[in-house]
Amino acid sequence: MVILEQCFWSSAQHFLAERPFRLCRYRTCSTVDIDTFVPVSSSIFTRSFAVVQGLICTFRTKVRSSLGDRTCLLPERYDGCVVPWCLYLRTIVCRDECGTFRRLEIAPKDEPDLWRSSIFLLISFDFPMMSSKEALSLKVGLEISPLDSNDVYDMYCILYQVSVCSLYTVKLTHGKFTWTVKRKYKHFQELHRDLYKHKMMAHFLPLGRFAAQRAQLRAMTEEMPSLHGTERMRQTSSKPKYLEEYLNDLLENSFCKNFHGMLEFLDVSALSFVSDLGPKGLEGSIFKRSGGHRIQGLNCIGHHQFCFRWSKRWLVVKDSFLLYMNRENGVVCFVLVFDPEFKVQVGRAYTDTKYGVCIQNFTRNLVIKCNSYRQAHWWSHEINRLAEPCEFLQVQRFGGFAPPRENTLTKWYVNGSGYFADLADALEQAKEEIFITDWWLSPEVFLKRPATGTYWRLDQILKRKAEQGVKVCVLLYKEVEMALGINSGHSKRTLMDMHPNIKVMRHPNHMSAVVFFWAHHEKMVAIDQSVAFVGGLDLAFGRWDDSQYRLTDTVDGSNSAQDPKPPEPEEVNAEDLKNNTQLWLGKDYSNFIKRDWVQLDRPFEDNIDRTEVPRMPWRDLSAALHGKAARDVARHFIQRWNFAKIFKYKNIRSTFFPCLLPKSHSTADALPFTVPGSGKASVQVLRSVDRWSAGTCENSILNAYIHTIENSEHYIYIENQFFISCADGKNVHNGVGDAIVKRILRAHSEQKKYRVFVVVPLLPGFEGDISEGGGKAIQAILHFTYRTMCRGEYSILMRLRERDEYITLCGLRTHSQLSQSLVTELIYVHSKTLIADDRRYIIGSANINDRSMLGSRDSELAVLVEDEERIPSIMGGEEYQAGPLTLALRKECFRVLLGADSEPQIDIDDPISDQLFFVGWNTTAKLNAKIYDKVFRCLPCNSVHNMRELKEHSGLERMCDTHPQQAKEELEAVRGLLVHFPLNFLSEENLLPPLGSKEGMAPTELWT
């Protein structure tokens, strides 16, 4: 026989001798012999320890080794007195004072083993959200009323004879957070019993590693207040005051304050006092039912109750979302954001569960189970009360998810140089989290150039921030590898190998989601949910550019064919870049119409010969947002991230790909930093999403485009990568082109001046030799572009007939000298921008085609910016009040495109004047196109109408080759970048791909 360690034994003797108890359950079972018996009387047992044969100091392990796996240690409660521990045996044989033997089963066979969780709770004393300098203060009032008062509840109480109980309303304050909980007196009793059990567990800990804590624990537990006061204090009139003092005394005791039962009593969790999540909200323990996802493939195919699983979770309701989490480890399991489909319903008809509550939004019907109708009704009422003020419950302007945000700091960018530089500086300011989503992301891209080290390389920036504790979440489009070579797998592996704080998900899984043709096309970066960058620029190769639109980038600008090749990938480091003068390193130097990107896992090897092939300049527009608008952008990312996590990683441990939480808009105005040069305006975040992409449906970008065009008074300016519109009800469905036609016809009927400027790329961005027709993909896009502009009964110019003085269609081109030869290349317009009336503009990722606009195809993101301030300007020769941000953006575009810096006679102040439209714009575009055709015989051009003429044209001599000096003199007359779009190019050919080709077998929706 082995005796327990002395300190444990003496503490146990002291406690057991002090408090008698009565066993409340008896059950006869098979006998287990024990050498020493518990002394008992007829009904009262004096507490002592039964010294079991084979028991040693390692109490728990050796008890089980002696008595078998069916033995465990279990805290128990008997007749109002807490038993700190007991031996869980199938049977204990006891002997009373008269020598009578009794067989008593102390605990039923199927009760859980709680010893492990009790030990865990004793280890975890510090609760992070409670470690505030400001103490919790309580005020308690007495209510003699049910939880709620309404007709339904009153009818329930009358019908089922439910008694109306008294509730104590506990009002709590912690710093700036205030909330209330309602408790019955029995809840105070249960709390006191649990605290007493917790105290005894601390006294009786047998493990050696807790020895150093015992003295401190005893000192804290000796100060534990008693729930039972004097007889006068126990009177009803004195109870509230007494309970208030009791709870405040508990909160002054750190041992009691950090006890999990105390936290549950106060409805407190790790998310209660996070300022950026808004008010404390509503919390409590619930049972939730599995399933309910409104996503194909995530639910059990059956609807019987056996198809569901119930789990205990901690529910947290905030001002714009709710979540449930695992209370034991603090992991957030699911986040349900408030949206226009949000509603709460009670009853079996909605839940197939007695006392069930159904919480519904676009993505899920979440069912929770309560203990009574009263509790179910209370949850429903409180959730609705908290959600009611949320602005995301209403469908906003243009059918969007977010309302316009007044007085929002915003900034526009033309080209990638300024955008990437400001983005790099903003990433350096990140303190908590960075969200990135792109169609294509190149980890090795440099954000500041020329690169003289790796400090401003994207992957190094993200690694540096991750090492500082910032959480980096990247959401990439998972491409169909046979169709695209952007190698998102390389991007994911590269980033995730850098640091555990960097998480990358790719979406969609094409087979399981049955999504083969659509893409995640939006581009955005959100920093601490306070500053966001959106637009058309991926953080990828080939995107960085400035207003010079260089065609060459050789070593030291020598433009020599003898320039050394760039180093191999493993040789590129900070020391190698110390004296670097190149702007585009490796794959960043690109001309994707000549050759698309390949071998992206070798990023510092050139994709094309930069001594022979000019690069293709990249024109794009983007924007920076602050405050509430940035929170809206982050909310979109969070919806997509959580949706992708549930769809792809539902069964993977939640800590690896965590659920993200949207910050409250109530704290959005406290900006940690701002982007220099920002101005204030009204900003509304728009998007195109579908159930496959984000779990909800929206096409607010299309609605905003049409509304802006229809309500424009003087002009619209469009820059876009695609121009496929004019609905025919068959192949094309978006109405942007139709809105343009209607607005021009209205201006013509009213005899008012109105202008439409359209700038698109001269060729689609697909690999192909245009001298041989350009390939089937290029021809397919050209077919639908010409169908929108000028060919067929639905085209804009055919419907306008002789009214083309209202609209101009242009592209961009530039020239340079490479290896002693003159070269030209089109400027690839990748912008997605609409400017109207010098007062509002739209910048985003959405092209003018069905893929981007309808919402049911590609996912997109954009912002509508409307100036709130006014400055003097000119419109149609008259004084005009323009918006400062929009006016500056329009002038910047016109200045670069028209070459106004070198031609001071060009006046860009009045965008609709005849001088600007006919002379400054159309004459410049026509002259430039004529010069380029004469010098380079470049394609596409108006003189080529069919494939025969194309072949003949390609064989003609070029002035740039035969008479280079004369060609240089001709090129001196080029002004700006504008050229007319060649509306007659291949006009006699059917550009649709033949049915026998792989492009022809693809559905038409792929191209539109």
Tokens describing residue 736: 């942007």
Residue type, position 37, single letter: F
Active site residue 521: yes
The residues with which 433 forms a beta bridge, in sequence order, are: 471
Cα Rg of the chain (Å, integer): 36
Could you say which of 830, 867, 910, 980 is catalytic?
A: 830
Active site residue 339: no
Residue 881 has φ and ψ, to the nearest 5°, of -95, 105
CA distance 121 to 98: 42
CA distance 464 to 450: 20
CA 370 to chain centre: 32
Could you say which of 465, 520, 523, 776 is catalytic?
A: 523
Q: Are 269 and 316 in contact (CB under 8 A)?
A: yes
Angle between helices 185-203 and 6-18 (to 10 degrees): 150
Residue 662 has φ and ψ, to the nearest 5°, of -75, 135
Tokens describing residue 928: 């430039």
Distances in whole angstroms, Cα of residue 951 to Cα of each of 769, 939, 947, 954, 961: 12, 12, 6, 5, 19
Active site residue 523: yes
Could you say which of 194, 545, 620, 837 is catalytic?
A: 837
- Judged by phi (left if over 0) then psi (alpha if -120 to 50, else beta), residue 824 lies in beta
Residue whose pair of structure tokens reads 């008694």 in the numeric block: 163
The residues with which 452 forms a beta bridge, in sequence order, are: none
Distances in whole angstroms, Cα of residue 833 to Cα of each of 621, 711, 866: 7, 17, 14
Residue 916 is given by DSSP the state: I
Could you say which of 503, 815, 832, 980 is catalytic?
A: 832
In this structure, is the dihedral angle defined by the CA atoms of residues 982, 983, 987 and 989, taken in order, positive or negative? positive
CA distance 870 to 913: 21
Active site residue 186: no
- Quick one: which of 677, 984, 725 has its CA closest to 851? 725
Q: Are 883 and 574 in contact (CB under 8 A)?
A: no
CA 308 to chain centre: 29
Buried b or exposed e, range 566-603, using 16+ CB within 10 angstroms:
beeeeebeeeebeebebbbbbbbbbbbbbebbeebeeb
Residue 844 has φ and ψ, to the nearest 5°, of -170, -155
CA distance 360 to 356: 13
Tokens describing residue 192: 């006191």
> Quick check: helix, strand or coil at residue 250?
helix
Helices (H), 551-681: 627-649
Residue 886 has φ and ψ, to the nearest 5°, of -65, -40
Active site residue 276: no
The residues with which 408 forms a beta bridge, in sequence order, are: 681
Tokens describing residue 409: 């700091």
Helices (H), 650-795: 700-710, 736-750, 776-789
| Residues ≥6 apart with Cβ < 8 Å to 446 | 456, 457, 458, 544, 585, 588
Could you say which of 339, 459, 528, 553 is catalytic?
A: 528
- Quick one: which of 8, 187, 143 has its CA closest to 84? 8
Residue 588 is given by DSSP the state: G
Could you say which of 521, 714, 783, 815 is catalytic?
A: 521
CA distance 911 to 917: 7
CB count within 10 Å of CB 42 equals 10
- Judged by phi (left if over 0) then psi (alpha if -120 to 50, else beta), residue 161 lies in left
Residue whose pair of structure tokens reads 């518990």 in the numeric block: 38
Active site residue 545: no
Q: What angle do CA 881, 885, 889 make, to 5 degrees?
A: 105
Question: What's the residue count for the chain?
Answer: 1008
Tokens describing residue 908: 């860009």
Catalytically active residues are: 521, 523, 528, 830, 832, 837
